[in-house]
Chains A and B, each alone.
Chain A
Amino acid sequence: MAGKIITITSGKGGVGKTTTTANLSMGLAILGARVICIDADIGLRNLDMMLGLENRIVYDLVNLIEGRCRFRQALIRDKRFPELHLMPAAQTRDKKDIREEDMERIARQAAEMADYVLIDSPAGIEHGFRYSTVAADQVLIVTNPEVTAVRDADRVIGLLEAEGHKNSKLIINRVKPELVRRNEMMDTSAIVDILAIDLIGIIPEDSDILFASNRGSPVVLDKNSAAGQAFREVTYRLQGQDVPFTPLKEPSLLKKLFGLR
């Protein structure tokens, strides 16, 4: 049976799509799944660095589309989890070098070899968003608890519904529980109510994410990280488990001031 194709998108840029893709890909691999993640952000390659695989790239997605390499050659195998593979984006090319049908074909081919294919979409609602979502069995929309990000998420949700995508889910990233408590940040339940979409993850603001991207070692690997725990819970939900949403803990003063635990 072919694996499930999941696209991570957002509308607004910089809300945490690549962070989410890296963590869910590795998180699913930790659970023993065969995972291929595809960096569809042509020209702005990031997923390789977040996964710590940037030094091993030979071929990329555009090389594959242009027939310069075989499918397997465009995949980088993770050394920590041999069942995790990355298909990197081309860094010096343009999004218009990819056609929707190319992406669809490659995503389906990947799904023949994996349990999950995760696609990291570029920001926006134009061509890059379209080719990234064309083959998706499920779309995860990442937003932040800010009015602009939620507005853009609503636009994306509308476009996806118009394209016939069902079963899309929301991830609210960079939640600061102390600001929610002080009524300065929108509550996740208000955002879910406004967007009228199912929630699959609430990820706290966490300085561990910065440390993790410095090292190329996603937080999901860190047992003590709050964001890592939140991403692990998303992977359980993706596998069909009914994991309740536990209220986020406020970070300690030391963590807030110095990023210490």
Chain B
Amino acid sequence: MRIADLFRRRSTPSGQDIAEQRLRLVLAHDRANISPGMLQILKDEIIAVISKHLDVDADKVEVNFAEDQHETRLMADIPLQSTRNRSKN
């Protein structure tokens, strides 16, 4: 831990952290050549397609990029409505 950290409330990220996070995110979009808005549209379309066959919990769906040094991948986490909930309907 750095001295400066002692004087900062833990909840506020440093300018350094914010810069790094924003940069990583924007570069993921740049490198994949898809804008954040397009990714949202893609996400909606994925939900629509999967929903034809499965009962998707749309609010909890996450579609994001994962990066390492060699490749960028698109990660989709698509939770389903639990069957127990559904049987109550």
Interface residues of chain A, those whose CB is within 8 Å of chain B, are: 146-147, 150-151, 154-155, 158, 180-187, 190, 194, 196
Contacts and interface: CB of A to CB of B under 8 A. Distances in A.
B4 A181 contact: yes
Given A154-B27, A158-B31, A194-B23, 14 more contacts: A146-B19, A151-B27, A155-B30, A182-B4, A183-B2, A183-B5, A183-B15, A184-B14, A185-B15, A185-B16, A186-B20, A187-B16, A194-B27, A196-B69
A179 to B, nearest CB: 8
B15 A184 contact: yes
A233 B11 CA distance: 40
Contacts of A183: 2, 4-5, 14-17
Contacts of B27: 151, 154, 194
Nearest to A182: B4
A190 B31 contact: no
Contacts of A181: 2, 4
B13 to A, nearest CB: 9
Nearest to A154: B27
A241 to B, nearest CB: 26
Interface of B: 2, 4-5, 14-17, 19-20, 22-24, 26-27, 30-31, 69
A180 to B, nearest CB: 7
A151 B26 contact: yes
A203 B29 CA distance: 29
Contact of B23 (A150, A180, A184, A196): A150
Contact of B16 (A151, A154, A158, A184): A184
Contact of A186 (B4, B16, B30): B16
Contacts of A196: 69
B24 A194 contact: yes
Nearest to B13: A183
A190 B17 CA distance: 10
B47 to A, nearest CB: 30
A196 B23 CA distance: 13
A186 B30 CA distance: 20
A9 to B, nearest CB: 18
Nearest to B18: A147
B87 to A, nearest CB: 48
B21 to A, nearest CB: 10
Contacts of B31: 154, 158
Nearest to A183: B14
A196 B4 CA distance: 28
